[in-house]
């Protein structure tokens, strides 16, 4: 999966929310295994992010939502594109939708941080 500028911004903000820091050389973030931190594509990284930020996950038939326990921040992501609505297409992949919901909710937290 290619990372778009929008995805890169989401990852930057999510990393800020999670307290992830780049190396002194500005290299991408690393995960617990010393590999590239990639919560948009790696289930483990996404789950660790959700746990660290204490997210509530709701996985439904056509949508997944990640939210803070107080539900002040909630980011639903649809599993498939809908012709009537401009939804993110995931070709009916609930795993990709769940990872994106987690990253989007984390990015919203990062966006609200000073």
Contacts of 75 (CB under 8 A, 6+ apart): 65, 66, 67, 101, 104, 105, 108
**What whole-number distance in Å separates Cα of residue 72 and Cα of residue 26?**
32
Structure tokens at 88: 């993110």
- Answer for the pair 78, 97: CB distance below 8 angstroms, yes or no: yes
Q: State the pLDDT at residue 86.
A: 44
What CATH architecture is 5-112? 2-Layer Sandwich (3.30)
Q: How confident is the model at residue 25 (pLDDT cuts 50, 70, 90)?
A: low
Which sequence spans correspond to the domains of the chain? 5-112
Q: pLDDT tens-digit profile of 51-106?
A: 999 999 988 877 788 888 887 888 877 766 544 444 455 556 788 888 989 999 99
- pLDDT reading at 2 higher than 80: no
Q: Enter the pTM of the model.
A: 0.79
DSSP state of 35: S
Whole-number average pLDDT of the chain = 80
Quick one: what percent of the chain has pLDDT higher than 70? 76
């Amino acid at each position: 999966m290619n990372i778009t500028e929008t995805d890169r911004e989401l990852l930057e903000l999510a990393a800020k929310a999670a307290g992830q820091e780049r190396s002194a050389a500005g290299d991408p973030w690393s995960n617990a295994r010393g590999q590239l931190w990639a919560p948009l594509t790696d289930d483990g990284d996404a789950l660790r992010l959700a746990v660290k930020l204490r997210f509530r996950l709701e996985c439904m038939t056509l949508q997944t939502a990640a939210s803070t326990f107080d539900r002040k921040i909630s980011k639903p992501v649809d599993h498939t594109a809908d012709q009537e609505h401009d939804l993110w297409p995931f070709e009916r992949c609930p795993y990709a939708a769940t990872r994106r919901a987690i990253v989007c909710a984390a990015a919203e937290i990062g966006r609200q941080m000073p």
